[in-house]
Amino acid sequence: MALDIVILTESGEPEMTVPVRVNEHARLLGIVDDATLPLLFRLRDYYGDAEYEPQDLDSLAAELDSVAERVRTDDELARLVAELMNLVTLAKRLGRKVVAIAD
């Protein structure tokens, strides 16, 4: 079971998915602070859903950039953050929201 971060098509089907395993989530959220990274902090509940509207995506990308600097020596988290950044970039280009769906 994973927390899936997705871009949904207009029909509601996942177009691109980045799965986040529970151990990755715990390590990632261990460095996320609600005051400095409020958008990423929405993911704090592994078993809860979250949404990011298109107008949130520039700020979400900036938060991911900040986190990328902190995790660059952790290959697994660095890969996850890069995949999330790719997803956010595509969502921005498509004008779609990003959704976290708890399985």
Residues of the chain with pLDDT under 70: 1
| The pLDDT of residue 59 | 97
Domain 3-102: give its CATH architecture: 3-Layer(aba) Sandwich (3.40)
List pLDDT tens digits, range 45-69.
Answer: 999 999 999 999 999 999 999 999 9
**Residue boundaries of the structural domains of the chain:** 3-102
Cα 17 to chain centroid, rounded: 10
- Specify the pTM: 0.93
- Residue 77: Cβ within 10 Å count: 19
Do residues 87 and 60 lie in contact, with contact meaning Cβ atoms separated by under 8 Å?
Answer: no
